[in-house]
Structure 1
Amino acid sequence: MDVSVIGISPESVEIYRYFLRHRGEGVGEARQALDMDPDTVEAAIEDLERLSLLDLGDRHKVVATEPRIGIERLVERRLNELNAEIRRVLAARDAIAVLMEDQQQGERAASVLDIERVEGLERVRQRLDDLGFFSYKETLCLHPGGPLSRGAIETALPLDTRSLRRGLAVKAVYHPKALDDPLMAAYLRDVVSLGGQVRITEESMDRMVVFDRSVAVVPIHPKESARGALLVREAGLVSQLVTYFDGVWDAATDLREFTEPSKEPPLLSELERRVLSVMATADKDEIAAREIDVSVRTYRRYVADLMSRLGAVNRFQAALRAKEEHWI
């Protein structure tokens, strides 16, 4: 029984129940009967009086308020407090119009190009976190140079996990030097196991992150990323950066292939190829199974196996990866 939500502590509950069971007894009897510190008993009794659950007009004959009256009164009071709080929270929406006007004034006063300068590593990390949280489609990353620091990895993995579990595509390209650090290599394997796509390239590249192909983040200085970053929202510039990413991505090697190169392309049966071809087009398993003339159970077994081999978290992603790996 938890009534702390209406302001009654566990000690007060025990004392209130004592006086309900022992009508007409005084404070002294309660102190002797209850296995509590006397100061705790006294404080709880004062709280119960303040909550109108005990009448201490005569401390030798304490009267406990009927629960149907006392508890209901406290519940109603708490509900009134919550309703008032909700009204105050909703009233905060009134600030939107004023703040939007401030934003519009800032936009009118801003330079022609929609490029925001963010200085300081901590502020950049916060903005990256915000952009990742509000993304709904994909994140594209280029990471030249060596491994991330331990702190950066500990920060990045929860963000990547959150994005992938929300269904976002995460595509990143790293330089082989990043794999020299066992902690970094383990982090990249974790990202892949969660459904992310990681590739490796020895070619030089520029550091950047692109969110939903609409916002690009690049360093203020290409050799000193800790100085800060530029947040680019100009559609033309972002499009060029995405094209640059796609070129680097297409030329890079899948992490698994780079670390454990396969000597031969995957051997797929004709049925496996047919399963892959319908995975991204059929709305229901029953329709897909009927289209390739197998039972639903067989179709689902093949789908599960192929998803595991492709490291995909859903069927649509498996179909995309199959095309990228030239399986179909």
Structure 2
Amino acid sequence: MDISVIGVSPEGVEIYRYFLRHRGEGVGDARKALGLDPDTVEAAVEELERLSLLDLRDRHRVVATEPRVGIERLIEQRLNELNAEIRRVLAARDAIAVFMEDQQQGERTATALDIERVEGLERVRERLDDLGFFCYKETLCLHPGGPLSRGAIETAMPLDTRSLRRGLAVKAVYHPKALDDSLMAAYLRDIVGLGGQVRITEEPMDRMVVFDRSVAVVPIHPKESARGALLVREPGLVSQLVTYFDGVWEAATDFREYTEPSKEPPLLSDLERRVLAVMATADKDEIAAREIDVSVRTYRRYVADLMARLGAVNRFQAALRAKEEKWI
């Protein structure tokens, strides 16, 4: 029996029940009968006296308060305390208006763009590590120029591996000069093997990293990245940078295709060709599966495999790429 919510301890419950059953007995009798140590009994009877559940004016003839009176009184006291606490909590709503005024004043006076300047290569790497750790959806990267240094690769590999194992999408575009270094090429192959998406382009591009399409990191000076970086959180600017990335990404070549270009269209089964044919036209999986006479589960399995082979992010794009690559 737990009535600690009204302030009675387990030991207090035991002693209170004893005196209800043994009217007129003393504190010493309860101690002997219950086998409790003197300090425990003393603390419990003092608690019960404070709660008006025991009358200890004569410790040799203790009187227990009738439960319908004593317990009910404690319940009412506790309810009054809880009601008072609820009123205090509800009164906190009055602070919302004050805080809203503060927010509105801040919005009226804010003039600076949300752009943070971070100077020094080491400091930039620290901030990139922080942003990568708290990233929860995807990372977009553009890497113009040659290969990364050995130290940069050793730093980047565990971060990329951690992101991919957490289920994040990692999309990066490199210049072909990055592949001139065997260590760099091996690093990119490892990233692709772990599920990262890497493309190659010979077109000029600006260096940047975007986390969750909400924070973009660009160099302070486009030709001297070691000087530092700007962390951009302004939604309008970030959106423009993401659009720029998407354009570069679409025009780039898949890493595997660039390094090991296929000379002939891949061998596709008749079912795979039929799946590709309906991917861009059917509105629902059920309709597409019925059209080619397979189960929905089988259809979806084939779609997932074909999208992975084509490096497509959606089914419509997969169908377009299949036509471009003359798969269908």
TM-score, length basis structure 1: 0.57
Cα displacement (A) at 1:41:
2.7
Task: Indicate how the Cα distance of structure 1 residues 118 and 173 shifts in structure 2: closer, same or farther if over 3 A, else same.
Answer: closer
Partner of 1:134: none
Partners of 1:266 and 1:33 lie apart in 2 by: 89
Partners of 2:109 and 2:159 lie apart in 1 by: 43
Cα displacement (A) at 1:240:
1.4
After the TM superposition, which residues 106-185 of structure 1 pair with which residues of structure 2 at under 5 Å, given as runs? Answer: 106-111=106-111, 115-116=113-114, 156=134, 160=136, 170-173=137-140, 180=154, 183-185=158-160
Cα displacement (A) at 1:43:
1.9
Partners of 1:274 and 1:216 lie apart in 2 by: 38
Partner of 1:166: none
Cα displacement (A) at 1:27:
1.8
Q: Deviations over 1:200-259 (max 9, x none)?
A: 333563244355xxx5465796868999955424x3x2431231343455467999x79x
The answer to whether the aligner puts 1:187 opposite 2:187 as a matched pair is no
After the TM superposition, which residues 39-54 of structure 1 pair with which residues of structure 2 at under 5 Å, given as runs? Answer: 39-54=39-54
**Once superposed, what is the RMSD of the aligned Cα atoms?**
5.0
After the TM superposition, which residues 1-328 of structure 1 pair with which residues of structure 2 at under 5 Å, given as runs? Answer: 1-111=1-111, 115-116=113-114, 156=134, 160=136, 170-173=137-140, 180=154, 183-192=158-167, 196-202=168-174, 205-209=207-211, 216=215, 218=217, 229-233=231-235, 235=236, 237-247=237-247, 250=250, 269=272, 281-282=283-284, 288=287, 292=291, 298-300=295-297, 302-303=299-300, 321-323=314-316
Counterpart secondary structure, 1:105: helix
Q: Kindly indicate whether the alpha-carbon contact (under 8 Å) linking 1:15 and 1:44 is maintained by their aligned counterparts in 2.
A: yes
Contiguous gaps of at least 5 residues in structure 2: 119-123, 176-205, 323-328
Partners of 2:275 and 2:21 lie apart in 1 by: 73
Partners of 1:308 and 1:5 lie apart in 2 by: 59
Partners of 2:19 and 2:278 lie apart in 1 by: 72
The percentage of aligned residue pairs carrying the same residue is: 47
Cα displacement (A) at 1:7:
2.8
Aligned AA (2:6):
I
Cα displacement (A) at 1:97:
1.9
Aligned AA (1:198):
V
Partner of 2:194: none
Aligned AA (2:169):
Q
Q: How many residues align?
A: 268
Cα displacement (A) at 1:270:
5.7
Q: Kindly indicate whether the alpha-carbon contact (under 8 Å) linking 2:12 and 2:44 is maintained by their aligned counterparts in 1.
A: yes
Partners of 1:216 and 1:56 lie apart in 2 by: 70
Counterpart secondary structure, 1:115: coil
Partners of 2:63 and 2:305 lie apart in 1 by: 69
Contiguous gaps of at least 5 residues in structure 1: 121-143, 161-169, 312-318
Q: Deviations over 1:237-288 (max 9, x none)?
A: 2431231343455467999x79xx9989796636755896699x54xx8x65
TM-score, length basis structure 2: 0.57
Q: Kindly indicate whether the alpha-carbon contact (under 8 Å) linking 1:52 and 1:70 is maintained by their aligned counterparts in 2.
A: yes
Aligned AA (2:172):
I
